[in-house]
A and B are shown apart, each in its own frame.
Chain A
């Protein structure tokens, strides 16, 4: 069902898709659509909406594949960024009617824990390094950054959830981001 591509193979397939190669584009879809649906579903918590956004995402990928630059971005991260931004745009457009199912429950019910072909696409070292650096932040800062990424929520929503003033949340995250950058570049 799902093709397993290495990072280089995915980058190459994206490049060909950018030249109009539909077979290459289909390989990109098969190797990455489960990963990207995981991302959009986590943000939207509604399968129908998440799949609509997934469809939009790949149409955007098709149009923009020609601008993908393998020397500057990892292909899976480039794809995740598009999917995540599309899902957040949909979430904030008000079109997203959140169902009453709590997010965590919704995701655990449908998430498939089997190893994904897309996992082969992520450089293990990069992910480990990111996790190490996040781990060096205090728990609430690291947690806020993760939640913001996974669920696509703003400072306002994060502050309400953590029951801290908005300024405090901004300060946590800004300083956390700066430390994260220093750590990742060390």
Chain B
């Protein structure tokens, strides 16, 4: 692979990761590659490796002593460090590392996640107006895995899977993806036919603030911890208000 002009397969991913680390991509291509980085831990580790490889180029840059006012301003801004989950990239990496056969979420969905405005809070008056939120969960292939609708007023959740998950011996589990990172288990779902659930009050807070949903595939009979799937994450979609 020294002189080939045809960069394909694995090398295509490597080249894209290198381009992203080098920051040469156009804004549109960079946004798509960042979304890929956020959703695909293998790709993200390629990007890390490229940062490591290219970082030595900074050796050629002469150091410049900062003005004395910089440190006091930095110090004034220090807050107790948050747990290192301040972005979804870290979340996805930690979540998915070690799971094999991971099908990353669709790029489009993740790009939209970045652009999604915060949902308006539900008015506390009774009866609460129905705020219907919908999401289409897609596989890495781009195929739709499921459409979901959630009524924040009643806590009713409606799921309509396509045939994409049918025939899988594993059990799909639905997760809320929270805006600050982290996930909240909703529960096992039926991957082969439409179903209706009532999330009730227990999850109404998280479900109201979640900005996306995801599906992991868990071993039959296994219930994962409420904040971390054990099986691979196969689909994700962003909540939209209807």
Which residues of A come within 8 Å of B, CB atoms? 1-2, 17-20, 22, 25-26, 29, 33-35, 37-39, 41-42, 47, 51, 54-55, 58-59, 62-67, 72-74, 76-78, 80-81, 84-85, 88, 92, 107, 110-113, 116, 118-119, 122, 126-127, 129-131, 145-146, 148-150, 152-156, 158, 171, 173-175, 177-182, 184
- Given the interface pairs A55-B73, A154-B25, the reply to whether A38 lies near B63 with Cβ below 8 Å is yes
A177 touches B15 (CB 8 A): yes
Q: Are A72 and B48 in contact (CB under 8 A)?
A: yes
State in angstroms the CA–CA spacing of A105 and B231 once bound together. 55
A20–B81 contact, CB under 8 A?
yes
Note all chain A residues with C-beta closer than 8 A to B90.
67
CA distance A2 to B64 in the complex (A): 12
Interface pair A171/B5, CB less than 8 Å apart: yes
Question: CA–CA, A156 to B45, complex, Å?
Answer: 26
Contact A39 B58 (CB under 8 A): yes
Note all chain A residues with C-beta closer than 8 A to B18.
Answer: 174, 177-178, 181
* Interface CB pairs A-B, < 8 A, 6: A63-B84, A67-B84, A77-B52, A118-B63, A173-B19, A177-B14
Cβ-neighbour of A59 out of B21, B60, B78 (below 8 A): B78
Residue ID in chain A nearest B61 by CB atoms: A38
Known: A154-B23, A173-B22, A173-B24. A149 touches B54 (CB 8 A): yes
Q: Does B55 contact A (CB under 8 A)?
A: yes
Q: Tell me if A146 and B23 are in contact (CB < 8 A).
A: no
Q: Which of B14, B26, B64, B77 contacts A110 (CB 8 A)?
A: B64
Question: What count of chain B residues pass the 8 Å CB interface test?
Answer: 49
* Cα separation A173 to B55 with both chains bound (whole Å): 16
B56 within 8 A of A: yes
CA distance A83 to B73 in the complex (A): 17
**B80 close to A (CB within 8 Å):** yes
Question: Which A-chain residue is minimally distant from B77 (CB atoms)?
Answer: A59
A34 touches B71 (CB 8 A): no
Q: How far is the CA of A116 from the CA of B66 in the complex (A)?
A: 13
Contact: A153 with B63, CB < 8 Å?
Answer: no
Question: CB distance B64 to A29 under 8 Å?
Answer: no
Give the residue of A34, A113, A126 whose beta carbon is less than 8 angstroms from that of B65.
A34
